[in-house]
Amino acid sequence: MARMSYETIQKQIQKLQAQAKKLEEGHQAKKLKAVAQVRALMKKLGVSISDLDVSNQADTTSQKRRKPKPAKAPVAAKRGFTPVPPKYQHPETKETWTGRGKAPRWLAALISEGHKKEDFLIGIPDTADTFDKEGHTTTNATGQ
């Protein structure tokens, strides 16, 4: 694209603004013409502004009301899975992994150093904790 001078750009802006003004005036003229046609039709049929309000209210009461949409299910429930407790833990940083999906970098690095994945299993406590749908720990039914 060739470089245009400041004056050329200003002329183009003025030309476009004039076109926009003509379009706006044309739109306004169409709007006024439509209003005049509606008023003439209302006068011919004997309809007043108050009649329009009453008929509008009658229309809304005769329409079927929509049922409210049910609340959306949590994402975990929607996908069909529940959170699981972590199964593996980094010995130093305490980062955890559930054992599902791709292994985290820290575990892959330790395995490449010669460790076994089982070396990082989190010990199973005597109180068999369970997790609710939000991933919060809850105690078992025996209350231990």
Predicted TM-score (pTM) of the model is 0.33
Torsion of CA 84, 138, 126, 123, to 10 degrees: 30
Classify residue 106: in a domain, yes or no: yes
Instruction: Identify the domain containing residue 40 by its residue range.
Output: 6-60
Classify residue 68: in a domain, yes or no: no
pLDDT, greater one: 12 or 141: 12
Whether residue 99 sits in one domain with residue 132: yes
How many distinct structural domains can be found in the chain? 2
Residue 130 in any domain: the answer is yes
Q: Is the pLDDT of residue 76 over 90?
A: no
* pLDDT tens track for 89-100: 998 888 999 988
Computed on alpha carbons and rounded to an integer, the radius of gyration of the chain in Å comes to 36
Overall average pLDDT of the 44-56 stretch: 79
Looking up residue 82, the CATH number of its domain turns out to be 4.10.430.10
Structural domain contains residue 1: no
Task: Evaluate whether residue 81 is within a structural domain.
Answer: yes
State the pLDDT at residue 5. 93
Residue 112: C-alpha distances to residues 98, 108, 109 (Å): 19, 6, 5
Spatial distance between the Cα atoms of 85 and 130, rounded to a whole number of angstroms: 8
Confidence category of residue 66, pLDDT binned at 50, 70, 90: confident
- pLDDT confidence of residue 142: 47
pLDDT, one tens digit per residue, over 107-119 is: 999 999 999 988 8
